[in-house]
Amino acid sequence: MSKEKKEFTIEDLPGVGVTTAEKLKESGYDNLMSIATASPGELVELTGVGENVAKRIIQVARTKLDMGFETGEDILKKREQVEKITTGCKSFDNMLKGGFETGAISECFGEWGSSKTQIAHALAVNVQLPKEKGGAGGMAVFIDGESTFRPERIKQFAEKLGLDPIETLKNIKVARAYNSDHQMLVAEKVEDLIKEGLPIKLVIVDSLTAHFRADFSGRGELSGRQQKLNKHMHVLMRLADRYNLCVYVTNQVMAKPDTFFGDPTAAIGGNIVGHNCVAPDTLIQISNGLIKPISEIYNYDKVISYNLKNNLEAGENKIGTIVVRNYKGGLYTLKTTHKIRCSGEHRFFRINNFKIEEERTKNLKEGDYIAHSFGLDIKGEFQELPKQKVVKIKKEGSELLKKEITEKRLTRKDICKNINITSGQLRRVLNQKYPADLNNFIGLTKNGVSTQMLQYAEQVTADKHKEFIMPEVLNPPLAQIMGYLLGGGCFEKRSLRFRDAEYDILKTYNNLFEEVFGLRGDIIKVSNKNCFNLNINNKEIRDFTKNIAKDIFDYAAKSPKECLASFVKGFFDAEGSIGKRYPKISASQKNEIVLRYMQLFLDRLGVRSFISGDKHNGNSMFRLEVKSLKDVVNYGIKIGVSATDKKEILAKWIKCCEKSNAQEMTAIKREDIWNLIKDFGIHPSKVIRSRPKSCKYIGERELNRVIKTLINKKPGDNEARKKLNFLITLLNSEIKFEKINKITMEAYEGILYDFSVPKAENYIANGFCSHNSQTRIYLRKGKKGSRVAKLIDSPWIEDSECAFMVTGGGLEDIK
């Protein structure tokens, strides 16, 4: 008989002992999911562990989550158990495809008096109806945060349905919550009621955010408020999923005066209920330039988002809720210039009739254009580099060291096996006060030499180590060297080696080494091969560059554009080639992640590129290509190359670009532009040529000509002027719409991630402008005392709206 697999628990996490586990459990972090979605700051505060340990705990929790894999048949059976709770209003039920679902959270938000609480009371009664009458045959828990529960209304609703009012009230457990901590505690206690055997089928939280706003009132407390709200939501999510019950939460709205179209309101506390997800290897653009996998995102990070409702400008926004989701189902792969893997419910942005709208992945088609980030203006700062502590030994220390070597019968050769200097260098350290890394002297003490020797070590304050210099920041020349090292350099045991078929390339990099480190290497012809080696025979420089190479993507990403361009230049100097017959720059690598970072760096520099992959001798090989004439020229101007022959080829393509009539296509439909020109009282054929229907979209050069023609003309109505202004804003923005070349779907079993961005509701993922969304119902007052409910962002129902009346007997259709 096979052994049953041991469940991975909190105590099994690295750095979590019995005491730490108890602290976590006492604070409500009693399972891997709650820790996986926590922030390092929370764990540091609760347990006293260091930030790096906290990050490690969170990362392991994310990877060790029980995936809960189920077959398709299991999922179908689970969906068959979903129950619908009627609202009592036919039009409302039709909008929700039968009523509020169990196994999920639904949020209703609206201004005061929009009937959020009336719906809560109706659901508390209706959930008690038998299933054949639209109920779930269960009880309700009403968590009352604003003293809104009214038993009189329950009696009215029950009498209208023919139920016993007293028995109906007995089947509603009401808990008055006095602050945010009390509200969270009450929600956690719901599970105890279920374990006692009570058939709880509905949990109402009215209102979700009121106490959190009161307890965390200042701007400086927003982060703490969001963290607690996240934790509260995860408790409610777990209840809904584990016990197949319906969670109904209410929320108020705040005004958004900067909104020029649509309803100028948003739910207070941001979007916090439901999320659609992307794969763990998705790369997220952080506001300081860093690019991080979504699996390493924490809620203290700030991301770049776009203001899609007004000026399309990019800005910095704080992350809200982080969602880690166990997922089994179809995973889509979208390929444009970039590639992303996500669920079918994840949303992207496209243009429709001069407006930017959201669309689910499952509804997108090949040939559609969706939003990407392009040419981001991240200022960056010159990055300080880790300093080596270089010391030299005083005469007294040298004598002591020699004495101990003799007494212990140690040889210089044996000692140097465990430290990073040669026996010849050790001789110079002892006899000539040669400076060396402090770690080498610490290594001597581990070989049995007395630690007393370290008191004779004095730090070398100048950054000159004999004949070379250690740079303090990542400047453009060093960034170029590091780019070449990434692409084609080699770390030998005590030296660096560059190999290239072109002598002038190595000569260029030899000059860069002299500029950066004050030291030149040797360029030697490789025997029996048509190439050369540049050898930098310096152990300290080798160690220094290897140390920063571990985090070179982070250093480069946070640097100014001139450093970023130099880094990319170095990489393509090592790996790249330029087409002679066609305008193309390409670089190949076995490691796709390297090319993905390079592609995002090219995006920042305003150069479009594509990644493709194939098999070579059974091994995967990936290729990053700059294809169009315009982008090859942009590469030459903004980045450049070092090789003389490549410079000549680039110069040729720049001349070709000046004479070329080629233009990039936009995401704007020709038909829409044709009609817009008419709206300005001009015959379209005077501005753009008529094309066959197969030419669906307009080119960038033609679009610029249209704008130039119309900008000083008077339109027939204000709507036409708005459309023209949209085009002007779009062409001057850092958003580019790319065509979907291929869409595929495959079976997937694993973790997916998402997070909310409360203010902007979008972020940059793998270069795509990606929407974070949730299931919500927006309520507002209608005409003649009616109410209007608008379904927003439901993961299973199309957006729609309905109107209804609130009467003494409950919710009713408008007659």
Distance (Å, whole) CA 43 – CA 15: 11
- Three-state secondary structure call for residue 459: strand
Residue ranges of the alpha helices (H) in 357-475? 395-407, 412-416, 423-432, 438-446
Q: Are residues 676 and 689 in the same domain?
A: yes
The model carries a pTM of 0.68
Residue ranges of the alpha helices (H) in 171-245? 180-195, 210-215, 222-243
- Which residues fall within 8 angstroms of residue 573, CB to CB, at 6 or more apart? 480, 483, 484, 487, 505, 508, 509, 641, 642, 643
SS (H, E, C) 352-369: ECCEEEEEEHHHCCCCCE
User: Tokens 């945010």 belong to which residue?
Assistant: 180
Query: Can you tell me the mean pLDDT for 35-41?
Result: 76
Do 350 and 746 meet the contact criterion of CB atoms below 8 Å apart? no
Distance (Å, whole) CA 390 – CA 81: 69
Crossing angle of helices 700-710 and 670-679, in 10° steps, is 10
- How many domains is the chain partitioned into structurally? 6
User: Tokens 């139920």 belong to which residue?
Assistant: 163
Do 188 and 155 meet the contact criterion of CB atoms below 8 Å apart? no
Q: Are residues 295 and 343 in the same domain?
A: yes
Do 739 and 665 meet the contact criterion of CB atoms below 8 Å apart? yes
Q: Are residues 104 and 228 in the same domain?
A: yes
Containing 33, the helix (H) or strand (E) segment is helix 32-36
The reply to whether 685 falls in a domain is: yes
Distance (Å, whole) CA 72 – CA 736: 38
Which amino acid, 731?
A: L
Q: Are residues 590 and 496 in the same domain?
A: yes
Q: Are residues 370 and 402 in the same domain?
A: no
Distance (Å, whole) CA 87 – CA 813: 11
Q: Are residues 202 and 226 in the same domain?
A: yes
The counts of H helices and E strands in the chain are 27, 41
Distance (Å, whole) CA 117 – CA 149: 8
Look at 52 and 643; give whichever has higher pLDDT: 643
Task: Supply the pLDDT for residue 222.
Answer: 54
**Residue 242's pLDDT band (cuts 50, 70, 90):** confident
The reply to whether 385 falls in a domain is: no
Instruction: Look up the CATH number of the domain holding residue 290.
Output: 2.170.16.10
Strand partners, 522: 535
- pLDDT tens-digit series, residues 117-138: 999 999 999 999 999 999 999 9
Distance (Å, whole) CA 405 – CA 384: 39
Distance (Å, whole) CA 33 – CA 248: 22
Nearest to 334 by CA among 755, 771, 666, 746: 746
Nearest to 791 by CA among 274, 238, 353: 274
Q: Are residues 137 and 222 in the same domain?
A: yes
Do 102 and 85 meet the contact criterion of CB atoms below 8 Å apart? yes
Distance (Å, whole) CA 689 – CA 686: 8
Distance (Å, whole) CA 775 – CA 407: 77
Look at 236 and 333; give whichever has higher pLDDT: 333
Rounded to whole angstroms, what are the CA distances from 51 to 6, 10, 26, 43, 45?
A: 29, 18, 20, 8, 10
Instruction: Look up the CATH number of the domain holding residue 417.
Output: 1.10.260
Distance (Å, whole) CA 176 – CA 186: 9
The reply to whether 72 falls in a domain is: no
Distance (Å, whole) CA 530 – CA 475: 32
Kindly report the number of other CB atoms within 10 A of residue 654's CB atom: 16
Which amino acid, 552?
A: I
Do 398 and 576 meet the contact criterion of CB atoms below 8 Å apart? no
Q: Are residues 259 and 305 in the same domain?
A: no
The reply to whether 274 falls in a domain is: no
Q: Are strands 369-373 and 735-739 parallel, antiparallel or unpaired?
A: antiparallel
Distance (Å, whole) CA 518 – CA 467: 7
Q: Are residues 164 and 230 in the same domain?
A: yes
Q: Which of 436-450, 623-637, 657-671 has the lowest mean pLDDT?
A: 436-450
Distance (Å, whole) CA 802 – CA 733: 37
Do 106 and 100 meet the contact criterion of CB atoms below 8 Å apart? yes
Q: Which residues of 788-805 are buried (b: 16+ CB within 10 A; e: fewer)?
A: bbbbbbbbeeeeeebebb
Average pLDDT, the chain: 84
The reply to whether 277 falls in a domain is: no
Instruction: Look up the CATH number of the domain holding residue 496.
Output: 3.10.28.10
**Residue 794's pLDDT band (cuts 50, 70, 90):** low
- pLDDT tens-digit series, residues 682-697: 999 999 988 888 889 9
pLDDT at 465 over 60: no
Q: Are residues 181 and 289 in the same domain?
A: no
Distance (Å, whole) CA 75 – CA 550: 43
Task: Supply the pLDDT for residue 221.
Answer: 60
Give me the sign of the Cα torsion angle 264, 267, 272, 274.
Answer: negative
Count CA within 13 A, CB hemisphere, residue 30: 7
Q: Are residues 115 and 164 in the same domain?
A: yes
Which amino acid, 252?
A: Q
Residue ranges of the alpha helices (H) in 489-560? 503-517, 539-549, 552-557
Q: Are residues 95 and 190 in the same domain?
A: yes
Structure tokens at 151: 């038993």
- pLDDT tens-digit series, residues 293-324: 998 888 778 999 998 878 899 999 988 777 77
Q: How many residues does the chain have?
A: 815
The reply to whether 68 falls in a domain is: no
- pLDDT tens-digit series, residues 498-536: 999 999 999 999 999 999 999 999 999 999 899 999 999
Kindly report the number of other CB atoms within 10 A of residue 264's CB atom: 14
The reply to whether 53 falls in a domain is: yes
Count CA within 13 A, CB hemisphere, residue 406: 6
Peptide bond into 207 cis (omega under 30): yes
Q: Which domain holds residue 454?
A: 390-468
Instruction: Look up the CATH number of the domain holding residue 205.
Output: 3.40.50.300
Distance (Å, whole) CA 37 – CA 43: 11
Task: Supply the pLDDT for residue 508.
Answer: 96
The reply to whether 122 falls in a domain is: yes
CA dihedral 498, 503, 507, 508 (to 10 degrees): -90
- pLDDT tens-digit series, residues 719-745: 999 999 999 999 999 999 999 999 999
First to last CA, the chain: 67
